[in-house]
Amino acid sequence: MIEKTITIMNRAGLHTRPAATLVKLAASFKSEFYIFKDGMNINGKSIIGVMTLAAEQGSTLALKFEGEDEVVASNAICEFFEKGFNEQL
């Protein structure tokens, strides 16, 4: 199991489009992927769940990866967050 903490960099937060990309990315790995925020525990492969997070700019999320490809998955997903969802910041 791998646990990471990340901060949302984008001005508009984790809105619909990056949420969709994140979910797609997460689904490409076999590992389970969960996001924790303010006591909520969300399956990172569920768009409706990720949308519910309302993660605005500056908010901190805890990520949990568990499964055979957890190292690759955590690297790829953390990079996605760090790069600001590949959008203009």
Which residues of this protein are in contact with another protein, per CB under 8 A? 10-12, 15-17, 20, 23, 27, 40, 43, 45-49, 51-52, 54, 56, 87-88
Whichever of 52 and 60 has its CB closer to another protein, that residue is: 52
Query: Do 35 and 74 meet the contact criterion of CB atoms below 8 Å apart?
Result: no
CA dihedral 51, 56, 57, 60 (to 10 degrees): -90
- Least separation in angstroms between residue 21's CB and another protein is 11
Is 55 part of the annotated catalytic residue set? no
- Least separation in angstroms between residue 79's CB and another protein is 20
Active-site residue identified among 15, 43, 66, 67: 15
CA distances from 60 to 13, 24, 52, 63, 67 (A): 11, 21, 15, 10, 23
For the annotated catalytic residues, the residue numbers are 15
